[in-house]
Amino acid sequence: MIFKRLRFTCLFFLALLLGVTLPCVSSDGDEISGGLLVPHEKEEVADEKIICISDFHLTDTKSHDNGYASIEKNIPKLVEFLDKVAADKEVTGLVICGDMLDEWKCPNVVGPAEPPFNKVEERFLDIASSKYNERVINKLKEIVEREKIKVTYTPGNHDNLCTKEVIQKIIPGINFEDIYELCNGQIVIEHGHRVDIFNANNTVSYDGHNLPLGYFITRQHTSLSVRDGLMVGSEAELDGDPVVPAIYKRLKAGKKDENIVGKGIIDYPMFIYDGACLLYNRDSKAYMMENYRGVGEKVTRDTVKGKYNFTDDKWDEIKDADVVCGWWDSYWSGVNLDIFYKLAVMQYFENDNLKQEEIPKVVVWGHTHTAMGYKHKGTGSLYLNDGTWVDNKKGGCNYAEIVVCHDKIIGSVFEYKGKDAVPREIFSDTVKR
């Protein structure tokens, strides 16, 4: 250790003489590993290094056996990545930012509670215990059990009923937070779905249940995958377009049916829902439920359309009290990922309800499956999106990395390229603390 510090000190002064900048280093004098960090002008001590990942979308065994699982070929790569995280002695935190477990992916003609489950939590336990998913779950258990890295889970929309009690049964000892704050609120991490009108927990529209409209769109999407033999999550399904823009483009081009003709684009969410029904699954007129969540044996498309009518007043009832965006902005976030970033800006960086000292330095969301980062011009704060690990997502297998030094925070987003490859940097910048 003495030799290591002496060696680093010599290198440091040599660098100063030569005008070379040094990377952020740990308290042991080692360069922070795991990503391509921005060089710094002086020696820094890293207080924390947090890795954020989300949107695995682990599904049950029958989804794998019948060809509509979201992730299968990327599971070994995900386990390999988690091995690297566990072995990185500089990592202090691992945050799973939602949609780790997916109980929405189910074709219309299959009951989501097959085999029979008495409680929704049994479905999550069934997904976690699937032979296809056990390597991921066991690796997370191993990291938690070592107690070197604090592992935190924040739920998303596809696992919105996975409570603290349920996740503790799956991964004992894991930390659970709806919204995870670090460094006295300077870092805020959540899934991001609560600002999304299609996917925010909705206890208003459907008789007290929290099923958002996105649940039924997902089931339509899954039915297409089964019908056409496509894996859910494949961008090829809609010519490379994200789901909502593709529907919008196709309907705008005139590909309509009797349910949409004359409707125009007055009720945008229902316009998108009608489009999903048209594009994804023309045949099935109902969703098999088998009393899942107490809804009943089945739900028809007309029932869904009758319940999910969105207005400003309705959105005010649905959304969390502290969500500031209106339904119009929330809707368009599904059409344009830049607008989704703007919702983060509205929520955290330009929110009149927050005092200057309450504005976060770094906000991390998932949800969109698109890894990216922005630096807000007004505050200098960073927005990071940690992407996804689903199969067939070009540029996927992503993670966000937050390195906390004494006077600055470095926020980066990467594509994991494999254990012997350098991660591809998607975004990296710094913000003063």
- Which residues, listed in sequence order, are joined to residue 373 by a DSSP beta bridge? 384
Task: Give CA–CA dist 286/275, Å, rounded.
Answer: 15
Are 229 and 369 in the same domain?
A: no
Are 307 and 387 in the same domain?
A: no
CATH code of the domain in which 65 resides: 3.60.21.10
Give SS3 for 64.
helix
Confidence band of 208 (pLDDT split at 50, 70, 90): low
Are 336 and 189 in the same domain?
A: yes
Secondary structure element (H or E) that encloses residue 93, with its range: strand 93-96
pLDDT in tens, 352-384: 999 999 999 999 999 999 999 999 999 999 999
Question: Which residue, 312, 331, 365, sits at the end of a domain?
Answer: 312
Are 183 and 223 in the same domain?
A: no
Q: What is the DSSP string of 250-314?
A: HHHTT---TTTTTTTTSSHHHHHHHHHHHHH-SS--EEE-TTGGG--SEEEHHHHHHH----HHH
Are 98 and 194 in the same domain?
A: yes
Judge whether residue 410 has pLDDT over 90.
Answer: yes
Assess if residue 7 is contained within a domain. no
Assess if residue 11 is contained within a domain. no
- Which residues, listed in sequence order, are joined to residue 45 by a DSSP beta bridge? 25
Are 56 and 74 in the same domain?
A: yes
Among 18-27, 357-366, 381-390, 417-426, which stretch is predicted with the lowest mean pLDDT? 18-27
Assess if residue 146 is contained within a domain. yes
Assess if residue 224 is contained within a domain. yes
Are 423 and 282 in the same domain?
A: no
Please compute the mean of the pLDDT values over residues 392-403 and round it to a whole number: 93
Please compute the mean of the pLDDT values over residues 212-228 and round it to a whole number: 77
Greater model confidence, 300 or 4? 300
185: alpha, beta or left, given left = phi > 0 and alpha = psi -120 to 50? left
pLDDT in tens, 38-84: 333 444 567 899 999 999 999 999 889 888 899 999 999 999 999 99
Greater model confidence, 379 or 209? 379
Question: Which residue, 255, 280, 312, sits at the end of a domain?
Answer: 312
| Contact present, 184 and 47 (Cβ < 8 Å) | no
Please compute the mean of the pLDDT values over residues 253-258 and round it to a whole number: 44
Judge whether residue 102 has pLDDT over 90.
Answer: yes
- 297 is in which domain, residue-wise? 213-312
* Interacting residues of 285 by C-beta distance below 8 A, sequence separation 6+: 300, 301
Are 330 and 294 in the same domain?
A: no
Q: What is the dihedral of CA 232, 344, 186, 87, to 10 degrees?
A: 20
Task: Give CA–CA dist 23/38, Å, rounded.
Answer: 7
Please give the radius of gyration of the chain, using alpha carbons only, rounded to the nearest integer. Answer: 23
Q: What is the mean pLDDT of the chain?
A: 79
Question: Which residue, 289, 312, 335, sits at the end of a domain?
Answer: 312
Q: What is the pLDDT of residue 419?
A: 86
Give SS3 for 78.
helix
Assess if residue 387 is contained within a domain. yes
pLDDT in tens, 328-355: 788 777 666 777 899 999 999 999 999 9
CA 403 to chain centre: 20
Secondary structure element (H or E) that encloses residue 189, with its range: strand 187-189
Bond from prior residue into 115 cis (ω within 30 degrees of 0): yes
Task: Give CA–CA dist 201/165, Å, rounded.
Answer: 19
Greater model confidence, 429 or 338? 429
Q: What is the pLDDT of residue 107?
A: 84
Task: Give CA–CA dist 296/299, Å, rounded.
Answer: 7
Assess if residue 173 is contained within a domain. yes
Greater model confidence, 123 or 170? 170
**Farthest-apart Cα atoms in the chain, separation:** 78
Give SS3 for 196.
coil
Judge whether residue 198 has pLDDT over 60.
Answer: yes
Are 72 and 168 in the same domain?
A: yes
Are 228 and 172 in the same domain?
A: no
Q: How many domains are contained in the chain?
A: 2
Are 100 and 162 in the same domain?
A: yes
Assess if residue 207 is contained within a domain. no
Assess if residue 24 is contained within a domain. no
Q: Compute φ and ψ for 311, nearest 5 degrees.
A: -140, 175
